[in-house]
Structure 1
Amino acid sequence: MGKEGPDAESGMPAMRWRSIAERFVTARQDARALDAYPGAVPQSLDEAYAIQTQAIALHGGTVGGWKIGRINPPGDTHWQANRLAGPIFTDQIVEAPAGTLVGMPVITAGFAAAEAEFLVRIGAAAEPGKEEWSLAEVRALADRVAIGIEIASSPLPAINDLGAAVTASDFGNNYGLLVGPDLPDWAMTDLDMMPVTLSINGMPTGAGTTATMLDGPWGAVRFIAGHAARRGMPLMPGQWISTGAITGVHRVAAGDRIETIFGGTLPLGCTIVAAEKSGQ
């Protein structure tokens, strides 16, 4: 696919990347929608990640993890990739106290969805510049595996309808991460064999396993280890990797109650609330 990041060769000048990034970041900070894509639509993932890198710098704060999304056929052929990545900022990562329903914000007039995912926490720093990883090597980076809910939200209502490059350019459509209970004996557990269900307002909405998820959650970690290295942002201890939607990408609205159960016994839930303008 070529080099990823702000120095990637592209027909879109850096000034235009920055303008798009500024408009996305400002809209996110104001918790308001955008009527259309804020500039020329990126024509490659290299362009998308160049915009994303500008937006990370403009947003400020610490990247506390990465979300991974799948690029489904036939898009994977067009974009020459089957996954995309977006940053998760530390101030949008919430650890769920046992037995509580945490409120997770979304941009109500934009796009909003919830996804049940396995979360892998990085316990050892990845080797800088190392772009190729085995599954065994990335497993050795991990020190925790938890169940979680990724909140996908963007100022752009049509973000997921406009192609993977648009999604990647706006932080991969991430708006938060709810970290649930740790998975016991995760190192000895075949994650692909664990059934996962998700309901909205008490109604069953999705069910699945990671057996159909390309090379599974560990493959997602392998992808981001190489991707982050290519962008000069190697994985660091404490970062969470949200490895991909298991039951689907489920549209939500403020007031909805989300509940997911992993393996039939590990529950996690949240309520969806309207995001407020930063500083309020």
Structure 2
Amino acid sequence: MSEAAPKSAAALAPLEVARRFVDARRAARALPDFPGAIPADMAAGYRIQEAAIGLMADPIAGWKVGRIPTELQASLAAERVMGPVFAANIVQAGLEPTPVFAIPGGFAAVEAEYIYRMGEDAPAGKTDWTPEAAMALVEEELVGVEFAGSPLASINILGPRVVAADFGNNAGLILGRAIPDWRTRTDDWPACAAYVDGKLVGRGAPSSLPGGPAASLAFLMNVVAARGRPLRRGQLVTTGAASGIHDIEAGQTARITFGDLDEIRCIAHPAVPAEGQGGSHDGRRDASG
């Protein structure tokens, strides 16, 4: 049964909105509408995100960055949006398709990604990172797939303020191979392509991201530092949907290729309540399951 709408949506505090999102993810239950008033700006969306992080026992193992549509950037005073990636939701791609768990009636998509692994802690309080300075702290670059997911089917339609509120619309990260000679590779290699049920749905390359992946990293490092969460050694940063955002439903398969470097396959299953799947917040099995 769907959650009843609040009597006064505007009266809900960020913590209560966060709780409704987290509870819905844990229960694998779709939300019919945003549970409260739409955040007034990006800062309000991030206040909800921060409250939701406080409700999670799972540690943050990385962050995702997404691009805000050009036509919205001026009004939102932002070019990108970000959110946490929790440790239980990170898996290594294998020979068999990786399962991803879509909340029935919610939102689910796959995205080709270029991912940085940090090799050093970022100094606390530094908020003037340039792409060049940020890259000096990176240990390696990998390819991978972000599984975007939310209990709210309309999350992308409602826009970046809502995306920010619900963990940046992240539900998992599938890691592929490390990119060889990544510090000297061009921004056109390795190119990526995405297929859903065998149909080509998008193509891209590192250069598809404005400023390249390094610009996304610098943005992320500045934002998390301002929030008192500077990046730590070993954390992952997934830098944006290079091939686009590709909806996927339970029963569908996806194949993401990265030239001759790697191919990552996944298959979508219906999410079930966390209690039956190892306790992860999005209804997927944990590593022991």
Q: Secondary structure at the match of 1:279?
A: helix
Q: Which residues of structure 1 form unaligned runs of 5+?
A: 1-11
| Cα offset, 1:82, TM superposition | 0.6
Q: Distance in 1 between matches of 2:214 and 2:127?
A: 15
1:60: which partner in 2? 57
Q: Distance in 2 between matches of 1:43 and 1:192?
A: 38
What one-letter code is carried by the residue in structure 2 that aligns with 1:153? G
Matched length: 268
Report if the CA contact (8 A) 2:10-2:37 is conserved.
Answer: no
Runs of 4+ in 1 over 6 A off after TM superposition: 12-15
Summarize the alignment of residues 204-219 of structure 1 with structure 2, pairs less than 5 Å apart.
204-219=200-215
| 2:177 is aligned with 1:181 | yes
Provide closer, same or farther for how the CA distance between residues 277 and 48 of structure 1 changes in structure 2, counting only shifts above 3 A: same
CA offsets 1:22-45 (integer angstroms, 9 cap, x no match): 000000110110010000110101
What one-letter code is carried by the residue in structure 2 that aligns with 1:37? F
Report if the CA contact (8 A) 1:254-1:272 is conserved.
Answer: yes
Q: Distance in 1 between matches of 2:99 and 2:220?
A: 28
| Cα root mean square deviation, aligned | 1.6
Summarize the alignment of residues 249-260 of structure 1 with structure 2, pairs less than 5 Å apart.
249-260=245-256
CA offsets 1:144-163 (integer angstroms, 9 cap, x no match): 21111101110111000012
TM-score by length of 2: 0.89
Q: Secondary structure at the match of 1:112?
A: strand
Q: Which residues of structure 2 form unaligned runs of 5+?
A: 1-8, 277-289
2:24 to 19, 22, 27: 27
2:68 to 60, 66, 71: 71
Report if the CA contact (8 A) 1:106-1:151 is conserved.
Answer: no
Q: Distance in 1 between matches of 2:122 and 2:188?
A: 25
1:6: which partner in 2? none
Report if the CA contact (8 A) 2:15-2:52 is conserved.
Answer: yes
| 2:148 is aligned with 1:148 | no
CA offsets 1:169-209 (integer angstroms, 9 cap, x no match): 00000000001111111122123443211111111111122
1:51: which partner in 2? 48
CA offsets 1:194-236 (integer angstroms, 9 cap, x no match): 3211111111111122323211101111111101000000001
Provide closer, same or farther for how the CA distance between residues 126 and 14 of structure 1 changes in structure 2, counting only shifts above 3 A: farther
Q: Secondary structure at the match of 2:274?
A: coil
1:95: which partner in 2? 92
CA offsets 1:56-96 (integer angstroms, 9 cap, x no match): 00122100100101001211111010100000000000111
Q: Distance in 1 between matches of 2:207 and 2:266?
A: 26
2:225: which partner in 1? 229
| 2:14 is aligned with 1:17 | yes
